[in-house]
Amino acid sequence: MALAKRIIPCLDVENGRVVKGVQFVDIRDAGDPVEVAKRYNEQGADEITFLDITATHEGRDTTVHTVEAIASEVFIPLTVGGGIRELDDIRTMLNAGADKVSINSAAVKRPEFVKEAAERFGSQCIVVAIDCKKVSENKWEIFTHGGRKPTGIDAVEWAVKMAEYGAGEILLTSMDQDGVKQGFDLGVTRAISDAVAVPVIASGGVGNLQHLVDGVKEGKADAVLAASIFHFGEYSVPEAKEYMAEQGVEVRI
Amino acid sequence: MSTIAVIDYGMGNLHSVASALEHVCDSKIVITSDVAEIEAADRVVFPGVGAIRDCMAEIRRLGMDRVVQKAIAEKPVLAICVGMQALMAHSEENGGVDCINLLPGNVRFFGEGLTDATGEKLKVPHMGWNQVKQIDHPLWQGIEDNSRFYFVHSFYVKSDEPSLVRATCEYGLSFDVALAKENLFAVQFHPEKSHTAGLQLLKNFANWDGKA
């Protein structure tokens, strides 16, 4: 008996539509985030992360409705990230049915925001997302603006600080690896997982199922997040879990 | 039509509990802190998220401690997560907080340096899907023993009265994740977030007459 390592499909959503495309064989509207979330729920995903990349204010209302629609049909945890800048943004998403929110650049801009958020809503619903790049051997730096802007902040030190400020979980994305399909950056995943007491979700770079296993076994991640391998039907969530179980990883089947 | 009241004491999102209940039963679901409405309901859900000190302050301010106590004497009540912890005698969280004291036992911190049997470090909060070892109760009907439920908590319950324990879980140590007493069933996990097994438990609750 042990806690299962979680598998988390991630949806990038813009103006109420899943972008990057999702290709399930028997799904009518592949761009509808509610349909996609329901499918992952049926497949046995352990959580769903919904990353809102909508730029406009009007579009944000659409996002709230989408979150409401998902939450009324999907009975597994739902994390919403993207554009979370104020306590009101968090309240709006939680009221819409999100279980957790993911805070990224707003934390870099003003770290106290994480503290205020955790005090107001509880650490259990505050995820801090960290986007980093490797800058030298065993050294990773936080980048913002889609990886274009270096911040000079050390990723491991930042993770420790965010956990101290009340983050209940760390969502770690290696921007070197993101989309390259060469696997997670296991070095930074391991370094952060060893340094903090809270769970770490590894993200960025999954190209095959062994990468998920490596993230857990070598990176010591508590959960693995992936988008494209699931979206394009290369692997289903049950296939991923079966493979991980064969490799000795505790999963929920 | 029967009614299930979900007690709202202002501590976070009750949408999930309400929509999961709506999904599994025909009862009318009301999210409320209105005493009359809770007293009129056929069943009551006592949820909770967040830190215990803030929760207890709001529970007492709104008189929900007395409302829950009265409800438990009269009709089926399901307490979830911090709702369960609030029913214990005392919690270690926030430097120590006295709770409602309807169930004997305390709420303790998992602690730093928690490890599994192989010495591997365990993260706190205990977050994710863990196996629940059942002890006979009508609310487990149709749910396989050792099914996984979704947890997120840093403090755990240990009952002083072993006969009340209706499920346990392991995470570096063994702790109580379901307690039952007369009309009350209290769980540490989130049935509303636990997919098939969780929905079955909520369905069982919606049909439960309150007797063990």
Spans of all domains in chain B: 3-207
- Partners of A122 on chain B (C-beta within 8 Å) are 12, 49-51
* pLDDT in the model for residue B11: 73
Contact yes or no for A3 and B112 at CB 8 A: no
Contact yes or no for A75 and B192 at CB 8 A: yes
Residue B50 contacts A where some CB pair is shorter than 8 Å: yes
Contact yes or no for B130 and A2 at CB 8 A: yes
Residue B144 contacts A where some CB pair is shorter than 8 Å: no
Question: pLDDT tens-digit profile of A202-212?
Answer: 998 899 999 99
- Select from B127, B145, B154 the residue whose CB has the most chain A CBs within 10 Å, as the one to mutate to test that interface: B127
Integer angstrom CA distances of residue B71 from A41, A88, B74, B138, B188: 35, 34, 5, 19, 20
* pLDDT in the model for residue A55: 67
- Select from B14, B15, B114, B130 the residue whose CB has the most chain A CBs within 10 Å, as the one to mutate to test that interface: B15
Q: Which of A67, A70, A64 is nearest to A40 (CA)?
A: A70
In one-letter notation, the amino acid at residue B17 is V
Measure in Å the smallest separation between the Cα of A6 and chain B Cα atoms: 7
Taking one residue from A and the other from B, the number of pairs with CB-CB distance under 8 angstroms is 103
Of the candidates B13, B112, B193, which has its C-beta nearest A94's C-beta? B13
Least confident residue range of A10-24, A137-151, A217-231 = A10-24
pLDDT along chain B (212 residues), means of 10: 93 84 96 96 93 92 96 97 97 95 97 88 95 98 98 96 98 97 97 97 96 72
Measure in Å the smallest separation between the Cα of B63 and chain A Cα atoms: 22
Confidence class for position A21, pLDDT limits 50, 70, 90: low
* pLDDT in the model for residue A98: 93
Report the CATH number of the B3-207 domain. Answer: 3.40.50.880
Tell me the pairing of strands A149-154 and A139-144.
antiparallel
Question: pLDDT tens-digit profile of A80-95?
Answer: 999 899 999 999 999 8
- Is A12 among the catalytic positions? yes
Question: pLDDT tens-digit profile of A96-143?
Answer: 889 999 999 999 999 999 999 998 888 999 999 999 999 999 999 999
Question: pLDDT tens-digit profile of A38-70?
Answer: 999 999 999 999 998 876 767 778 889 999 999
- List CB contacts of B99: < 8 A, sequence separation 6 or more: B52, B56, B85, B86, B87, B88, B89, B90, B91, B107
pLDDT above 70: residue A23: no
Integer angstrom CA distances of residue A170 from A46, B20, B51, B91: 17, 27, 20, 26
* pLDDT in the model for residue A22: 60
Residue B53 contacts A where some CB pair is shorter than 8 Å: no
* pLDDT in the model for residue B77: 98
Contact yes or no for B125 and A3 at CB 8 A: no
* pLDDT in the model for residue A180: 79
Measure in Å the smallest separation between the Cα of A36 and chain B Cα atoms: 16
- List CB contacts of B3: < 8 A, sequence separation 6 or more: B27, B28, B29, B30, B40, B41, B42, B43
> Are the beta carbons of A173 and A130 closer than 8 angstroms?
yes
Q: Which of A230, A221, A174, A219 is nearest to A199 (CA)?
A: A221
- ipTM reported for the complex surpasses 0.90: yes
Of the candidates A72, A194, A252, which has its C-beta nearest B19's C-beta? A72
Can you tell me the distance from the alpha carbon of A66 to that of A15, in angstroms, rounded to the nearest whole number? 9
> Are the beta carbons of A215 and A224 closer than 8 angstroms?
yes
Question: pLDDT tens-digit profile of A165-188?
Answer: 999 999 999 988 777 788 999 999
- Partners of B16 on chain A (C-beta within 8 Å) are 71, 75, 97, 99
- Is A154 among the catalytic positions? no
* pLDDT in the model for residue A62: 86
Measure in Å the smallest separation between the Cα of B190 and chain A Cα atoms: 9
* Mean pLDDT, range A153-174, rounded to an integer: 97
* pLDDT in the model for residue A25: 53
Q: Which of B96, B118, B120 is nearest to B107 (CA)?
A: B96
